[in-house]
Structure formats: structure tokens, C-alpha cells
């Protein structure tokens, strides 16, 4: 049973890998965007498993993007390496910030992360010499000279890394630590779990994933700007995806990201100026009527039978 | 001894701090003082209804600023279609948003009162998105503004002149604050609301209708927010995202003053308004004024959490 499951994963991965041979550029582009949001949704959910909700995803996404772009431009590092370095920068920054703010819980943490995202944006906008200020910075060329197949593989790699990371977090003792923190922090503490250490660790790891995603995004489009890289979309869409698919699981975020990614591509054509409205409605309806999300609800039904 | 005890209270300390800042500014940069006062009162008057919801219903309403944005649009179209001055729209806006508040509470908020805090946050966040995008879809993101003559009225003292219309914010802040304090301290409904805010189960035990109190307080806050939107739009141009920063700023003020401390919100907003205008007054550094609020919110929340831990 277990072996066949891994075979299934490998089969899906191979199909995804050879997909570019059979599809056009447009479809690859759509897949790129879906996979980027998938990685973000997973990273958000990984932090959520400890009971902490972050609204600062766009901030770390933007920091990763700017770091990758500037390291590439100023230090002449190759794009791929600069993406990794951008992710590390975001992770390191999150580690420092986490030390200061992870004493906070609930709405205070959420609001502080939202404020931090704003702070990053304002700081970057106010150093025009280094970052290009409000206009942003244009990279000399997109990564792989814009080759859509290679770009797709890069994004696929990022998404697969975050899926594997999320599964590792679910299968090892980190999972039990985080779940017990979420359920009852005092009990977790008294059973010998170092709550603070785990929180900082998971915050740094998820932020690094967001940073890598941001770096990849910056290099794919060859452009970073305060409004574009720190856009609220990168906070809102992944949250909607995870909520719709189901919180606290890997496959919930994956299902949500694929579903909403396809829907959003369709909606963009139908209502160009308000397609985010649908995301807001999805968040509200999901919270009100089935807070477990699609995967959670189906799982419950199956268990009842 | 009494004086010493009084000095230890947070409100007194803040008042003294503000007095020192105000005197320094009056001597050095008088326009910073006056504009800062006006800006501060705008922040305060927007933050007060949010504090009311947070203190009594216990929900942090991340769609707060967006209700103000809707109120501003309401006043705009009221004025455009009827030709009446938008300041008159305060009264119909109050009534209309009271109904909107009832509808929102009945349709959405009621169901997450007992839910985990995370669900409440996400819900109001989603609600904020819906309102912003709905406004964007209907009225587009193009800013609109009424051209009113009286808003640019100004007065001159000695060598410097300042806008006088903005004093309406100060008046509004004082009226709303005194009205709310009177309501909470002197009326039966207000006392009941305070009791519910402190302990919903206890309030239920002594026969207070908790659900009705929540409904009333929530609708009252939304009504106040909507009518503040009507005042706001006389001076500022409005667009769908105009309210969003005010949600953050209001939360910042509430966190700084402490939940349930309505008077403190006014003092804290004075500090923030004055310091923000102070930074704005330096040429070339205006871009940093935006960061002030956010830096302060982070700082204040962290310091508060440390104080709690030490205790």
C-alpha cells in the first residue's frame, strides 16, 4: 500500500516533468503561476500548523525577490544561486524578527506581520540608489533567457521542494510538537517542548520558502518593484487557496492552489477588474460553512462511513 | 502622595508627554502642531468605533476602514444625486450603516463569535477583501472628489496660515468620544454593554440579552464609521483602497492605548499624529512618515508583551 503510494507520486512527478513537451507556452505560464502560489500556500499552512497566522507573506516574498535581484545585479552571482541566496536572506531576516515577535500570539502576531510587510515595502521604496525606489529595478534579462520550459522546471522544483518540506514536517516529530503547541501551549510546554525554539525554526523555514519563491518570481519576470513584489495578492491568494483546500495538511493546499489557480485564470478573462472579489467571497464562505476545507470535509465524510 | 499615584497612571504620563511635545512644537514649527492635531483627531475618531467592537464584542474587525470607505462613497453619491451638502449626509449615512451593521452581524459575524480567533481574523480579512473589490468593481479605482469651496478655508495668525476646515475632525473626535463615554457610563444599555464586554456569561446570568447587546454595539460602531466616512470625503479624494490603511492605524492606536481604554486612544493618536506630521515637515524625508505608524505598532506590541511576561 505504502509502496504504491510512492509509485503514484513518482508517476505524477514524471508527468509534470515531461508536460512541457506537449503543451503550449500559455499553459506553461499558467502552470508557473499556479505552482508559485502553491509554494506560498504551503509555506503559509506550515506556519499555521503551530497556530500562528501570518499576514506578512507578501513582505518576505518581496524581500526574497529584491535580495535575489540585487545580489544578481550587484555581486554578479548567477541567477539560480541568487534565488537560493535570496531565500536565505529572507529566512535569516525572519529568524531575527522571529526572535523579537514570536512571543506574540493570535491577532497581535498577525497584525505585526502585516505591519512588517508594510515596513519592508517602505524601506525599499526609500532607498532609490540601491533598489530603484518606487519605479523598481529591471534585470538585464529574464532567467534562462525567457525559455519557458526551463522556467517551468525551476518553478516546479520550488513547488516540489515545498511539498517535500511540508511532508517532512508532517511525518517527523516537528509535526507533533507544532500540533501540541496549537492545541494547548501550556500542555506543550509542560511536556518539555521548547515552544519558542520550534516557533522561530518554523517561521525561518517558511519565510525562506517564501523568499525563494519571491526570488524565482523576480527572475522569471526580470523585474522587481515595491508595488508589484509586495502586492497584497501574494498574501491573499495563498490564504484563500489553503482555506478552500483545507488547513493543516499538505494536500489541502495543493488541491486549493490547483483549483483556485485554474478558476482565477478563467475569472481574469471574465471580470478583469474585480476577480479578487471571488477570493474574498471564498474566504468568507469557507470560514462560515466548512472551516475544514475541501480535503478536510471529504476526509471527515470518508471516516464516518 | 495622591499626585504621585496619579503620575504613575499611564494616561497621566501620556498627557504630560503630549503637553511637552505640543509646547516645543508651538515654539518651533507651529503648522506641524496644528496640522498634527487635526490629523490626530481624524485617526482617533476612526479608531474609536473599532475599539468599541474589540472591547465589547471581542472581534477585531479588519474590514473597519472599508466600512468608512463605503460611508465616504455613500456621502459622495448622496451629494451628487440630491445636490445637498455632503456634511448633511452624516445623518442618512448613520441610519444606512446602522442597517448595514445589523445585516453584517446577522449574516456573518454572529457565526464566528465562539470560533477560534484565527477564524475571526480570516473572516474579517475576507470581508475586507470583498468590500474593497466590490467597490473597485462598481466605482473603479479612479479617485473621486467633490469640489467644495469651504474645505479650503484658512485663517492667518501673524506670519503663518493654516486650514480651518480640518478643525471639524477635532470637533468630531470630541463629540464621538464624549458621546461614547456618556453612553457607556450613564445609560443602562451602555452599562449592560460594558458588563457583556467584561464577562458575557456573567452578563447572561444576570439577565442581560447578550446577543442583542452585541448586535447593537456592532451596528452602532458600523454606523459611526459610515458617518465618519461622510466627514472624511469632504476633504480627501476617495478610492476603494482609501480605508485600508486606517484599519491598521486604528488597530495600532487601540493596541497602544490598551483594549477598553477609549480616552487613551485620543492621547495616543495625538502622539502619532504629531510625530507623523513632524517627520513630514522635513523635506526629503516625507517618504519615511508612512513607516512611523508601522514601526510604532510593532514596537508597542512587543513592549506590551514583554511587560505582560514580566508580570
* Averaged confidence pLDDT in chain A: 85
Q: pLDDT tens digits for B94-153? A: 999 999 999 999 988 888 888 777 788 888 888 998 998 899 888 888 888 887 777 777
Q: pLDDT tens digits for B123-138? A: 888 899 899 889 988 8
Nearest CA-CA distance, residue A273 and chain B, Å = 6
Q: pLDDT tens digits for A260-300? A: 888 888 888 887 777 778 888 888 888 888 888 888 888 88
For strands A137-138 and B160-163, give the pairing.
Answer: unpaired
Is the pLDDT higher at B139 or at B293?
B139
> Element (H or E) spanning A301, and its range?
helix A293-304
Q: pLDDT tens digits for B59-83? A: 888 899 999 999 999 999 988 888 8
pLDDT at B11: 66
Asked if the interface predicted TM-score (ipTM) of this complex is over 0.95, the answer is no
| Phi, psi dihedral angles at B20 (to 5 degrees) | -60, -45
Beta carbons of B297 and A126 less than 8 Å apart: no
pLDDT at B10: 64
Average pLDDT over residues A134-147: 78
Question: Is there a contact between B151 and B165 (Cβ–Cβ < 8 Å)?
Answer: yes
Residue of A nearest to B132 (CA): A277
Q: pLDDT tens digits for A29-54? A: 888 889 999 999 999 998 888 888 88
Give the residue carrying C-alpha cell 478552500: A244
DSSP assignments along B54-70, one per residue:
IIII----TTHHHHHHH
End-to-end CA, chain A: 21
Distance in angstroms (rounded) separating the CA atoms of residues A192 and A132: 48
Estimate the share of chain B in helix, then strand, then coil, as percent rounded to the nearest 5. Answer: 80, 5, 20
Give the residue carrying C-alpha cell 445585516: B103
Distance in angstroms (rounded) separating the CA atoms of residues A90 and A217: 14
| Candidate from A271, A273, A284 with C-beta closest to B123 | A284
Min mean pLDDT across A216-225, B13-22, B75-84 is at B13-22
- Taking 90 as the threshold, does the pLDDT of residue A11 lie above it? no
Q: pLDDT tens digits for A232-249? A: 778 888 888 888 888 888
pLDDT at B1: 47
Question: Is there a contact between A29 and A86 (Cβ–Cβ < 8 Å)?
Answer: no
- Taking 60 as the threshold, does the pLDDT of residue B251 lie above it? yes
Distance in angstroms (rounded) separating the CA atoms of residues A259 and A265: 10
List strand residue ranges (DSSP E) for A162-303, in order: 223-224
Beta carbons of A119 and B305 less than 8 Å apart: no
Cα A153 versus chain centre, distance: 17
Beta carbons of B130 and A284 less than 8 Å apart: yes
Chain A neighbors of B125, CB-CB under 8 A:
55, 239, 283
Nearest CA-CA distance, residue B156 and chain A, Å = 34
> Element (H or E) spanning B155, and its range?
strand B154-157
Min mean pLDDT across A208-212, B171-175, B306-310 is at B306-310
* Averaged confidence pLDDT in chain B: 83
- Taking 90 as the threshold, does the pLDDT of residue A149 lie above it? no
Question: Is there a contact between A245 and A257 (Cβ–Cβ < 8 Å)?
Answer: yes
Is the pLDDT higher at A98 or at B159?
A98
Average pLDDT over residues A196-222: 91
Distance in angstroms (rounded) separating the CA atoms of residues B222 and B100: 8
Cα angle: B14, vertex B173, B149; to 5 degrees:
130
Residue A99, Cβ density class (10 Å: 0-12 exposed, 13-18 middle, ≥19 buried): middle
pLDDT at A1: 54
Q: pLDDT tens digits for B211-234? A: 899 999 999 999 999 999 988 888
Residue of B nearest to A122 (CA): B291
Amino acid at each position: 500500500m505504502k509502496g504504491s503510494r510512492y509509485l503514484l507520486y513518482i508517476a505524477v512527478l514524471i508527468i509534470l516533468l515531461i508536460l512541457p513537451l506537449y503543451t503550449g507556452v500559455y499553459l506553461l505560464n499558467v502552470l508557473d503561476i499556479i505552482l508559485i502560489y502553491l509554494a506560498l500556500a504551503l509555506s503559509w499552512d506550515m506556519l499555521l500548523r503551530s497556530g500562528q497566522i501570518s499576514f506578512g507573506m507578501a513582505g518576505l516574498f518581496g524581500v526574497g525577490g529584491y535580495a535575489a535581484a540585487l545580489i544578481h545585479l550587484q555581486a554578479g552571482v548567477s541567477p539560480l544561486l541568487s534565488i537560493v541566496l535570496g531565500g536565505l536572506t529572507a529566512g535569516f531576516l525572519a529568524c531575527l524578527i522571529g526572535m523579537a515577535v514570536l512571543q506574540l500570539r493570535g491577532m497581535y502576531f498577525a497584525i505585526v506581520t502585516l505591519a512588517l510587510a508594510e515596513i519592508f515595502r517602505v524601506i525599499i521604496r526609500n532607498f532609490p540608489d540601491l533598489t530603484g525606489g518606487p519605479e523598481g529595478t529591471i534585470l538585464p534579462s529574464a532567467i534562462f533567457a525567457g525559455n519557458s520550459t526551463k522556467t517551468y522546471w525551476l518553478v516546479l522544483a520550488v513547488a516540489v521542494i515545498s511539498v517535500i518540506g511540508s511532508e517532512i514536517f508532517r511525518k517527523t516529530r516537528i509535526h507533533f510538537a507544532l500540533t501540541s503547541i496549537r492545541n494547548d501551549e501550556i500542555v506543550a510546554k509542560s511536556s518539555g517542548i521548547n515552544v519558542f525554539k520550534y516557533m522561530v525554526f518554523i517561521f525561518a523555514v517558511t519565510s525562506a520558502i517564501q523568499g525563494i519563491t519571491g526570488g524565482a518570481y523576480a527572475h522569471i519576470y526580470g523585474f522587481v518593484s515595491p508595488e508589484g513584489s509586495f502586492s497584497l495578492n501574494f498574501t491573499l491568494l495563498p490564504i484563500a487557496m489553503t482555506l478552500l483546500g483545507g488547513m493543516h495538511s499538505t494536500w489541502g493546499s495543493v488541491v486549493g492552489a490547483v483549483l483556485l489557480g485554474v478558476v482565477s485564470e478563467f475569472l481574469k478573462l471574465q471580470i478583469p477588474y474585480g476577480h479578487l472579489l471571488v477570493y474574498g467571497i471564498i474566504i468568507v464562505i469557507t470560514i462560515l460553512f466548512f472551516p475544514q476545507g475541501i480535503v478536510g470535509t471529504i476526509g471527515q465524510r470518508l471516516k464516518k462511513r | 502622595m495622591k499626585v504621585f499615584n496619579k503620575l504613575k497612571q499611564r494616561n497621566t504620563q501620556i498627557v504630560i508627554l503630549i503637553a511637552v511635545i505640543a509646547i516645543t512644537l508651538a515654539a518651533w514649527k507651529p503648522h506641524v502642531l496644528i496640522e498634527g492635531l487635526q490629523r490626530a483627531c481624524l485617526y482617533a475618531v476612526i479608531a474609536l468605533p473599532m475599539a468599541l467592537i474589540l472591547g465589547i464584542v471581542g472581534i477585531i474587525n479588519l474590514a473597519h476602514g472599508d466600512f468608512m470607505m463605503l460611508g465616504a462613497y455613500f456621502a459622495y453619491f448622496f451629494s451628487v444625486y440630491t445636490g445637498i451638502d455632503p456634511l448633511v449626509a452624516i445623518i442618512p449615512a448613520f441610519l444606512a450603516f446602522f442597517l448595514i451593521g445589523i445585516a453584517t452581524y446577522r449574516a456573518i459575524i454572529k457565526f464566528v463569535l465562539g470560533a477560534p480567533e484565527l477564524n475571526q481574523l480570516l473572516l474579517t480579512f475576507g470581508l475586507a477583501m470583498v468590500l474593497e473589490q466590490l467597490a473597485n468593481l462598481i466605482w473603479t479605482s479612479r479617485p473621486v472628489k467633490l469640489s467644495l469651496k469651504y474645505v479650503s478655508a484658512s485663517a492667518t495668525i501673524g506670519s503663518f496660515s493654516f486650514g480651518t476646515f480640518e478643525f471639524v475632525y477635532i470637533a468630531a473626535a470630541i463629540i464621538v468620544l464624549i458621546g461614547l463615554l456618556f453612553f457607556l457610563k450613564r445609560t443602562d444599555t451602555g452599562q449592560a454593554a460594558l458588563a457583556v464586554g467584561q464577562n458575557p456569561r456573567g452578563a447572561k446570568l444576570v439577565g442581560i440579552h447578550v446577543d442583542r447587546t452585541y448586535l447593537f454595539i456592532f451596528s452602532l460602531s458600523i454606523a459611526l464609521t459610515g458617518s465618519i466616512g461622510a466627514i472624511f470625503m469632504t476633504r480627501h479624494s476617495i478610492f476603494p483602497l482609501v480605508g485600508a490603511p486606517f484599519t491598521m492605524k486604528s488597530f495600532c492606536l487601540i493596541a497602544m492605548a490598551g483594549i477598553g481604554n477609549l480616552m487613551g486612544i485620543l492621547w495616543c493618536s495625538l502622539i502619532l499624529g504629531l510625530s507623523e506630521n513632524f517627520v513630514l515637515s522635513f523635506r526629503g524625508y516625507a517618504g519615511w512618515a508612512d513607516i512611523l505608524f508601522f514601526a510604532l505598532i510593532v514596537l508597542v506590541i512587543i513592549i506590551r508583551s514583554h511587560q505582560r511576561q514580566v508580570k
